[in-house]
Amino acid sequence: MRPENQNRLARIKKTSRILQIACKTIMVLVTLIFLASTVALLINRGGTISYASGGFAIGQLTRASRFILLGVNALTLGIIFKCFFHLNELLGNYSEGQIFTAQSTVQIRKLGVTCVLWGAMNVVWCFLPLALLSNRPKSFAFNPDLVLVGLMIVIISWFMEMAVEIQEENELTV
């Protein structure tokens, strides 16, 4: 390997390790948010659960509405956690110098699928006030960005998977 490429690989490994720490920190924060919001919804002592541009005053929700919100909140935070988990795994591959590998393409695909799921949950959160609140909003905003970005990531992972297979085949050919 040429010296400039060795330097680039060393930077990729170092940066990946730093970004892994950031991913793990975010996963811990998501877990803490999940625990705090679950406790707030279960004890019903007031407070607000917010997502994107909307919020739900816990004290104004019925028991059934709180449990629906608890489920949607848990599912959303689980998807966000999963997104950062797959990013952490991908960065782990990169920190070991395994950039264009089959395992990396799998993590990229899983990251893309998770982004699609996160985008789908955004749709659920758009309609949730209509289902849970007695004073329903007259409008809501839907943003399909995450769904589209996730689909693009899945497509890119498919191309990368084919490129890895071609590279492996070329390495075996003399």
Handedness of CA 154, 77, 94, 174 (dihedral sign): negative
140 has pLDDT over 70: no
pLDDT digits (tens, 9 = 90+) for 44-94: 777 888 887 678 888 888 889 999 999 999 999 999 999 999 999 999 999
Residue pointed to by tokens 């949950």:
121
Q: Contact 70/41 with Cβ under 8 angstroms?
A: yes
pLDDT digits (tens, 9 = 90+) for 15-26: 999 999 999 999
Angle between helices 63-95 and 102-132 (to 10 degrees): 160
Q: Where are the domains of the chain?
A: 3-172
C-alpha to C-alpha distance for 148 and 68, rounded to whole angstroms: 27
